[in-house]
Structure 1
Amino acid sequence: MNAAVYTPSAIETAALRSDRFRLEREADWKRLEAIVTRMEKGRLRGISDEDLLALPGLYRTVASSLSIARETSLDAATLAYLEGLVQRAWFVVYGPRSSLWTWLRGFLGGGWSAAVRAIWLDVLIAFAVMVAGATVGWLLVSHDPEWYYAMVGREMAGPRVPGASAQVLHETLFGQPRQDGLSLFAAQLFSNNAQVSILAFALGFALGVPSLLLLVHNLAGLGAMAWVYHQAGLTLDFAGWIAVHGTTELFAILLAGAAGLHIGRSMAFPGNRPVLQATAEAGRRAALVMTGVVLMLVVAALLEGFARQLVNETLGRSAIGGFMLMLWSTYFFAFRGNAGLTRQQEEQR
């Protein structure tokens, strides 16, 4: 009687394949895991130069093993182990080289101001365009008040319209928010300026032209509204009302427009560099500026929501606005700090 031929089951075959796959590659996995564990614990001195040089190659080897394991449907335990190891190794090999606190210290300690100074020409151009926009708005409305509604809009204007009495306009500046809707108007103004800042930066790729047009349109509305208060003899009161948050908010718009223009100008005039290289370098500087713009908008929102409501007289509002303008100007154009730290971090990335 012939002995029965033993045929391994599908489960046994899969287990044998998984064991063989693991035995062939496990040495590299364990070596990578040991290196990653030491680096996660900050024990860099315990890692040899040989292991550090081998780290990128080991990472790619284990990542390849994970890809094969997924395709061949190896056991769940092996897949889970490899996925966890590859994820940990990725952060060690490609993750950020500095902590959030270190980056923030470099950013606020000179990196942001250095980025703003690096685009000084674009800042000057954007500033000139904003002044021109406010002037155009003032002149257009002074010649034909109907232009006011095209630049400001009836919903946003509310009672602040050409021909309104000085008493009504005065109440919009110093009255209680629940009586005249000042809080709603302030929220609308902040939302509008935040959108302008984002769009002015985002549309910079179109050679900077849309960024400049947005600045003109936004400041034309401000100039038109300033004329309305000027006609009522409330120019200084209106300036103080705007200054509380405006010196921060308008500065943020200025930087956002300059950042967008910087990208567009680098695309149009790359110099001796390839267009992609010039645009990439400009994009990194502009992105750093825009990170700060977001911070400025948050500060402006706080000033708008608290300082302007708590301080109900022109001199105090002007003092707050003047102080913020001096603070931003000093930081951007006089403060140097440790900008080199941020540059080193960018080079590492």
Structure 2
Amino acid sequence: MDLDAYIAEHDGEWRRLDQLSRAGRRHSGGEIDELLMLYQRASTHLSMVRSRMPDPLLVARLSRLVLQARSAITGTRAMGWRTVVRFFTHMFPAACYKAGGWWAASSAVFVLINAILISYVASNPSVQTTIMPQDQINALVNTGFEQYYSQYQNQNFALEVWTNNAQLAGMALVGGALIVPTLWVFWQNALNTGVMGGIMIGNGRADIFFGLIAPHGLLELSAFLLSFAVGLRIGWSWISPKPGRSRGQSLAEAGRAGVVVALGLVLVLAVAGCIEGFVTPNLPTVVAVPIGVLALGAFVTYVVMRGRAATAEGYTGDLDADLREATATVNPTRV
């Protein structure tokens, strides 16, 4: 199909749609019917261009035009408390629930890798001294690991770990489209935890290691593993797109759900940061660990209960239909 001829054939319709859908314009009854008809045709044109001759400039022009027309037809969405509440009662838990299989698999692999690394490092002192000199190992085991959680003021430490964890989760999510960056972030975190745990346990400080890691680490690692799982799900979406969807459409859908997860994890990681900043360094292990277990249990229960209910209502974690890209079945005989 000749792109220039296609543009010449439909350019008049697109210009008219642009005119009718401009903000602030008041429409007569006939103009509303014309706007709806041109909007539907432009949506079909956009789908056809994407599937048959994906010219970037034309796709961008038609995408902007369709979104502008959709806004003129549906009106501007007002962001209010109901939208925020619905995000946390439906969209976020549904997105997490949909990624449940990836999440469970990622968690199992992470635990297995850590078990292997911890066992190997703990049982081989020569490996430990290869990683760091003996004097640094002694300092870490005797005071360094424990002092890490109390070297800053509680609020400053909580903010630091929150932003650091949010950055790692963001890297895992964004890197999912290319897969390799997400796997790299995953491996680096597993390696760091496994090596540190192996050194502590190998030198008889398992109580200190688990006592300080567990309160915040249960929720923190779960959130990170969720971001990793969603990142891989995004990457898999274009490798194996859903039936009836192009690779681009499948990637866009998974990417939008990934953004929903990223926004929700900001709050989850804030809770984990507060536990690490205020609970871990200040409360005894017998009190701090149950708080961590409770936080993890509450999050998993929330995802399962609310996610299952939201999914049953038709939520997938994606944005509402009027906020998504325009798609339509292409019928060449009617275009």
Q: Which residue of 1 aligns with 2:190?
A: 219
Match of 2:151 among 177, 191, 196: 177
Letter in 2 for 1:268: I
Q: Return the alpha-carbon distance in structure 2 between the equivalents of residues 307 and 132 of structure 1.
A: 28
**Aligned partners of 2:94 and 2:315 also within 8 Å:** no
Whether 2:102 is the aligned partner of 1:127: answer: no
Partner of 2:247: 275
Partner of 1:109: 89
The aligned residue for residue 302 of structure 1 is 274
Question: How many angstroms apart in 1 are the aligned matches of 2:108 and 2:142?
Answer: 34
1:190, distance to aligned residue in structure 2 (A): 4.9
Question: Residues 128, 249 of structure 1: CA spacing in aligned structure 2 closer, same or farther, 3 A cutoff?
Answer: same
CA distance in 2, matches of 1:188, 1:132: 29
- With over 3 angstroms needed to count, the CA separation of the structure-2 counterparts of 1:52 and 1:345, relative to structure 1, is farther
- Of 324, 327, 331 in structure 1, the residue corresponding to residue 295 of structure 2 is 324
Could you tell me which residue of structure 1 aligns to residue 65 of structure 2? none
- Asked if structure 1 preserves the Cα contact closer than 8 Å seen for 2:117 and 2:195, the reply is yes
Residue 265 (structure 1) shift? 0.8
Q: Which amino acid aligns with 1:111?
A: M
Cα separation, partners in 2 of 1:220 and 1:183, compared to 1, 3 Å: farther
Q: CA deviation at 1:121?
A: 2.6
> Per the alignment, in what secondary structure is the counterpart of residue 278 of structure 1?
helix
Q: Is the 8 A contact 1:106 1:341 kept in 2?
A: no
1:115 CA drift (Å): 0.9
Deviation at 1:52, TM superposition (A): 5.8
Alpha-carbon distance between aligned partners in 2 of 1:342 and 1:98, rounded to the nearest angstrom: 20
Question: Separation in 1 of the partners of 2:75 and 2:280?
Answer: 43
1:145 aligns with 2:128: yes
Deviates more, 1:332-341 or 1:196-205: 332-341
Structure exhibiting the larger radius of gyration computed from Cα positions = 1
- The percentage of aligned residue pairs carrying the same residue is 27
> Does the alignment pair 1:118 with 2:98?
yes
Counterpart check, 1:285 vs 2:257: yes
Paired residue type of 1:194: A
Match of 2:320?
Answer: 346
**Which residue, out of 212, 220, 226, partners 1:249?**
220
Q: Give CA-to-partner distance per residue, 1:18-73, whole Å, 9 cap, x none.
A: xxxxxxxxxx99x95668xxxxxxxxxxxx9778657779xxxxxxxxxxxxxxxx
3-state SS of paired residue (2:295): helix
Letter in 2 for 1:294: V
Equivalences for residues 151-162 of structure 1 within 5 A: 161-162=136-137
TM (norm. structure 2) is 0.65
In the TM superposition, what is the alpha-carbon distance from 1:166 to its structure 2 partner? Answer: 5.7
AA partner of residue 100 (structure 1): G
Aligned residues of 2:158 and 2:276 also touching (Cα < 8 A)? yes
Structure 1 runs (4+) greater than 6 angstroms displaced:
48-51, 54-57, 181-188
Residue 254 of structure 1, CA deviation = 0.8
Alignment partner of 1:245: what SS? helix
Name structure 1 gaps, 5 residues minimum: 1-27, 36-47, 58-88
Alpha-carbon offset, residue 283 of structure 1: 1.3
1:99 equivalent in structure 2: 79
Residue 101 and residue 139 in structure 1: after superposition, are their counterparts in 2 closer, same or farther (change >3 A)?
same
- Provide the secondary structure at the position in 2 that maps to 1:162: helix
Tell me: higher relative CO, structure 1 or 2? Use CA pairs within 8 A at least 6 residues apart: 2
Report the counterpart of residue 233 of structure 1 in structure 2: 204
- Give the C-alpha shift of residue 195 in structure 1: 2.7
Residues 183-210 of structure 1: CA distance to partner in whole angstroms, max 9, x if unpaired? 988776555433321111111111x232
- Kept in 2, the 8 Å contact 1:97–1:345? The answer is no
**CA displacement at 1:330 relative to structure 2:** 0.3
Measured after TM superposition, the shift of residue 130 of structure 1 is 1.9
Q: Against the structure 1 CA distance between its residues 271 and 90, is the aligned structure 2 distance closer, same or farther, given a 3 Å change threshold?
A: closer
- Secondary structure (helix, strand or coil) at the match of 1:105 reads helix
Work out whether residues 263 and 282 of structure 1, in 8 Å CA contact, stay in contact via their aligned partners in 2.
Answer: yes
Partner SS state of residue 77, structure 2 = coil
8 Å Cα contact 1:209/1:261 also seen in 2: no
Gap runs ≥5 in structure 2:
1-19, 38-68, 324-335
CA deviation profile, 1:69-115 (whole Å, cap 9, x unmatched)? xxxxxxxxxxxxxxxxxxxx997657653533222111111321111
Question: Aligned partners of 1:227 and 1:184: how far apart in 2?
Answer: 29
Give a deviation string over 1:218-274, Cα, whole Å, max 9, x none: 122112212222234332332232222222221221111111101111111125332
Q: Which amino acid aligns with 1:172?
A: Q
Is the 8 Å Cα contact of residues 106 and 228 (structure 2) preserved in structure 1?
yes
